[in-house]
């Protein structure tokens, strides 16, 4: 059976690195085994779901290169949840409850105060038909809970955490439907996973107790549960994700010059025993993706590390990958000349301005101006004008090292540092180079 994974975001906000990591790992799991990766928009929360967030999710996944093989929206599948609800009600696995949010909160506080776990006491099951009818006559609409079978141990072999087991008597029967008829997460998610043929669910460890509950939902709906794996959550260097990058969306990262390849390279291995490296080829990341390498400790997301990985990725990007983002006139030779000095692709414009000019050299003393005048005289244009010029000047003046190279760089670029002059000088061109040396020599 072909593997099927899914990413199921709620369109109530922008994706952040935690969401992106979940999407990436599900995509990689499917890619490695030649399976399918589905996008499911969990938009049953009508109050908070917004269409522009759905568009943003699609845009971000596209930017990241996480192409999906099918898409569904829960708001288009409400009839499916109604059918499943009726099946469960006929089987006696759902029941109406009439407590208000305030009453439930008071119950929890009393239980906690007595040192007891805050588990729903199933008081609604003790109501008689007449008592239920009386409440509805008062205008109290019920919310609905899924009844856990206390005789069925909740267990599974987790792809990351290993053997897991829960006592259902220590869990509350989860609310699956609100009093207004709208759906909570639990049942629609299980129904969708069944009907979409999802075979593997990889998600955060904050869903472990949800998995325990949903396993009984799968069996109550006569379906075999998928395989589950729960990865440790992301944290920042100081416990919480930094608002500067870590908890921001893809738009903010794009604005800061973060390449999708850098984000993919970092998140692919973050939280595993494998080193985070600036791997540009996704085939390498996919080939080495293995749930057995995932650890149980929280995975630390470091903004500074992302920036370092990003710089290393930029240094690997081929011209074809960046051509539409480079300044006008920059060709492949120009890109390869400036690339080793870049932190982001956008920085290429600053270096290209040195090529196109104008540049402002520093004020030189008389001896240095004489040296630059000699450079103007000795400049010859061949396959390696920088090498020829510096060799001729070395022989003529006896200068070497910094005394030889720095004044030339300053005169030609206006800077003390920068890309390799062997690559830069041909880009500047003979006419511009001669004019800059002459102007610097004349002061």
Q: What is the CATH number of the domain that holds 117?
A: 3.90.800.10
* Binding-site residue set for ATP: 243
Cα 179 from Cα 288, distance rounded (Å): 47
Average pLDDT, the chain: 95
Q: What is the pLDDT of residues 91-147, one digit of tens each?
A: 999 999 999 999 999 999 999 999 999 999 999 999 999 999 999 999 999 999 999
User: Do both 104 and 170 map to the same domain?
Assistant: yes
3-state secondary structure 402-435: HHHHHHHHHHHHCCCCCCCHHHHHHHHCHHHHHH
Place 167 in a pLDDT band, splitting at 50, 70 and 90: very high
To 10 degrees, the CA torsion angle through 91, 96, 102, 107? -50
The answer to whether residue 203 sits within a structural domain is: no
Query: 415: domain CATH number?
Result: 1.10.10.350
The residue-averaged pLDDT of 348-376 equals 96
User: Do both 390 and 331 map to the same domain?
Assistant: no
Q: What is the pLDDT of residues 417-428, one digit of tens each?
A: 999 999 999 999
User: Do both 123 and 168 map to the same domain?
Assistant: yes
pLDDT at 1: 67
The answer to whether residue 340 sits within a structural domain is: yes
CB atoms within 10 A of CB 366: 8
User: Do both 120 and 169 map to the same domain?
Assistant: yes
User: Do both 94 and 135 map to the same domain?
Assistant: yes
Cα 5 from Cα 202, distance rounded (Å): 8
The answer to whether residue 261 sits within a structural domain is: no
The residue-averaged pLDDT of 313-337 equals 97
Here the tokens at position 134 are: 């009386």
71: three-class secondary structure by DSSP = strand
User: Do both 422 and 393 map to the same domain?
Assistant: yes
Cα 421 from Cα 437, distance rounded (Å): 14
Place 243 in a pLDDT band, splitting at 50, 70 and 90: low
Place 239 in a pLDDT band, splitting at 50, 70 and 90: confident
Q: Find the domain containing 429 and state its range.
A: 357-442
User: Do both 99 and 170 map to the same domain?
Assistant: yes
Place 246 in a pLDDT band, splitting at 50, 70 and 90: low
The answer to whether residue 415 sits within a structural domain is: yes
224, 267 in Cβ contact below 8 A? no
Residue that the structure tokens 């149980």 belong to: 296
User: Do both 327 and 388 map to the same domain?
Assistant: no
Q: What percent of the chain has pLDDT over 90?
A: 93
Cα 256 from Cα 245, distance rounded (Å): 9
User: Do both 351 and 370 map to the same domain?
Assistant: no
* Binding-site residue set: 243
User: Do both 348 and 362 map to the same domain?
Assistant: no
Count of structural domains within the chain: 3
User: Do both 330 and 399 map to the same domain?
Assistant: no
């Amino acid at each position: 059976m072909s593997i099927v994974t899914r990413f199921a975001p709620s369109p109530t906000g922008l994706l952040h690195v935690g969401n992106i990591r979940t999407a990436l790992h599900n995509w990689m799991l499917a890619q490695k085994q030649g399976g399918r990766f589905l996008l499911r928009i969990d938009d049953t929360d009508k109050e908070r779901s917004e269409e522009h967030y759905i568009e943003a999710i699609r845009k971000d996944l596209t930017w990241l290169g996480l192409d999906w093989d099918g898409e569904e929206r829960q708001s288009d599948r409400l009839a499916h949840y109604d059918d499943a609800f009726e099946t469960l009600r006929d089987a006696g696995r759902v029941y109406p409850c009439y407590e208000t949010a305030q009453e439930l909160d008071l119950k929890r506080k009393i239980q906690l105060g007595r040192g007891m776990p805050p588990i729903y006491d199933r008081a609604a099951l003790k109501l008689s038909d007449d008592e239920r009818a009386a409440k509805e006559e008062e205008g109290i609409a019920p919310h609905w809970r899924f009844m856990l079978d206390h005789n069925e141990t909740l267990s599974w072999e987790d792809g990351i955490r290993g053997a897991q087991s829960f006592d259902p008597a220590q869990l509350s029967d989860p609310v699956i439907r609100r009093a207004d008829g709208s759906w909570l997460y639990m049942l629609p998610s299980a129904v969708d996973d069944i009907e979409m043929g999802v075979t593997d669910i990889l998600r955060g460890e904050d869903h472990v107790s949800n998995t325990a509950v949903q396993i009984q939902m799968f069996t109550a709906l006569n379906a075999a549960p998928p395989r589950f794996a729960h990865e440790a959550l992301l944290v920042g260097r100081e416990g919480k994700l930094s608002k500067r990058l870590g908890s921001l969306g893809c738009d903010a990262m794009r604005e800061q010059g973060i390449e999708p390849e850098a984000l993919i390279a970092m998140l692919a291995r973050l939280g595993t025993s494998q080193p985070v490296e600036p791997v540009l080829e996704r085939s390498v990341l996919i080939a080495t993706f293995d749930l057995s390498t995932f650890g149980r400790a929280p995975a630390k997301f470091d903004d500074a590390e992302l920036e370092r990985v990003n710089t290393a990725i930029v240094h690997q990007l081929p011209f074809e990958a960046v051509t539409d983002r480079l300044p006008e006139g920059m060709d492949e030779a120009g890109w390869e000349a400036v690339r080793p000095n870049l932190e982001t692709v956008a920085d290429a414009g600053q270096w290209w301005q040195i090529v196109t000019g104008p540049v402002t050299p520093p004020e030189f003393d008389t001896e240095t101006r004489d040296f630059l005048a000699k450079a103007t005289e000795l400049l010859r244009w061949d396959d390696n004008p920088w090498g020829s010029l510096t060799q001729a000047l070395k022989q003529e003046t006896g200068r070497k090292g910094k005394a030889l190279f720095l004044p030339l760089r300053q005169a030609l670029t206006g800077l003390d540092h920068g890309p390799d002059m062997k690559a830069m000088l041909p880009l500047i061109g003979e006419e511009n180079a001669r004019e800059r040396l002459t102007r610097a020599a004349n002061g």
